Amino acid sequence: MARPRVLSGIQPTADSFHLGNYLGAVRQWVTMQETYDAFYCVVDLHAITVPHDPAELRRRSRVAAAQLLAAGLDPERCTVFVQSHVPEHAELAWVLNCLTGMGEAGRMTQFKDKSAKQGESAASVGLFTYPILQAADILLYQADRVPVGADQKQHLELTRDLGQRFNHRFGETFTLPQPHILKEVEKITDLQDPTAKMSKSSSSPQGILDVLEAPGTLRKKVMRAVTDTGTDVLADDDNKPGVTNLLRIQSALTGTPIPELEARYAGQGYGTFKKDVAEAVVEAFSPIRERTEKLLANEAELDRLLAIGAERAGAVARGTMATVRDRIGFLPRA
Ligand code: TRP
């Protein structure tokens, strides 16, 4: 039987992925390439929904792709590609735009959050239709599952609604995808403000652990992470959010269950514990950083790998779009 298909996307909006991206998305993607027919996409079309610098976008798209490959995505086992290399994303997005109600799009909470930052009227129409482009990404590949963070649930619901609407109006065309949400994804928080999510847009540099940063800096940030009053290394979201976050990080990176870690550090205070968390982070990130640097040093090779991905993705996308064009009533080109 054919493997179920997954598709996911990540924005090239930073010079490095951070720990939240790594645990919440990238590492999960690497595992899923073994059991799914997996498509992973650097979503540069989404990245221009807010003001951007062209040279920076180009660099960050390569950095994002290189980190995905460096983290273990294998072009022999999955398809890694850049969204803008497959023009069908924008084409299907247009069709779906025309099936989406203004009110429906206006209910997307992420747009409300993101546009509030710039002032609602300064936000682009592209930012408003961002979730519809995301729906196109997913439906184009007939994905069965979409590995994402819990904050993407509403976008997945919209994707299913739009797929279903198209199917009802124009005939069965799209697979309706299920979200694939991991618990720990929701839980990595800012080292300086452990009640807030670790996030590129809202965390301070001291609150974020970047995959590509130097081991010395990573160690410093962990050692300076906000811990809580008391000395016990115990998981307790309400009273010890800082320690709990570090426990989650160490547990996720080393595979050791939290109760086992609690027992290990009983009576030892925070110092030893934090040192070990720092080492776990450095050990996880160093090989990825080194491989990323190697890939970025050979741009031609990186671009060749991305062209292979674009070819495979394009073949699927063209197939879906041919059906969509026909169903929607576009005239075939002679
Ligand atoms: N909106 C997603 C995020 O911020 C990124 C994304 C774009 C995506 N297209 C996608 C995720 C398609 C899954 C599938 O995380």
Domain ranges of the chain: 5-185+298-328, 215-293
Atom 6, ligand 1: residue with shortest CA distance:
9
Catalytic residues: 114, 197, 200
How far apart, in whole angstroms, are the C-alpha atoms of residue 267 and residue 292?
40
CA 191 to ligand 1 center in whole angstroms: 25
198 a known binding residue?
A: yes
Its pTM stands at 0.94
- pLDDT (tens digit, 0 to 9) for every residue of the chain, 334 residues total? 789 999 999 999 999 999 999 998 999 999 999 999 999 999 999 999 999 999 999 999 999 999 999 999 999 999 999 999 999 999 999 999 999 999 999 999 999 888 888 777 889 999 999 999 999 999 999 999 999 988 899 999 999 999 999 999 999 999 999 989 866 555 789 999 999 989 888 889 999 999 999 999 999 999 999 998 889 999 999 999 999 999 999 999 999 999 999 999 999 989 999 999 999 999 999 999 999 999 999 999 999 999 999 999 999 999 999 999 999 999 999 8
Is CATH 2.30.110.10 correct for 5-185+298-328?
Answer: no
CA of 124 to the centre of ligand 1 (A): 18
| 215-293: CATH topology | Tyrosyl-Transfer RNA Synthetase (1.10.240)
Strands 145-147 and 178-180 come out as parallel
Q: Which residues line ligand 1 (CB under 6 A)?
A: 7-9, 11, 43, 46, 134, 137-138, 146, 148, 152
Q: Are 24 and 50 in contact (CB under 8 A)?
A: no
Question: Is position 203 annotated in a ligand binding site?
Answer: no
> 10 CA distance to ligand 1 centroid (A)?
6
Q: Which of 10, 19, 130 is nearest to 65 (CA)?
A: 10
**Alpha-carbon gap, residue 124 to 151, rounded angstroms:** 21
Instruction: State which ligand 1 atom lies nearest to the alpha carbon of 43.
Output: 7
Other beta carbons within 10 Å of 153: 13
Q: Is residue 217 packed enough to be buried (19+ CB in 10 Å), middle (13-18) or exposed (0-12)?
A: middle
Query: Which has the closest alpha carbon to 222: 254, 191, 253, 268?
Result: 191
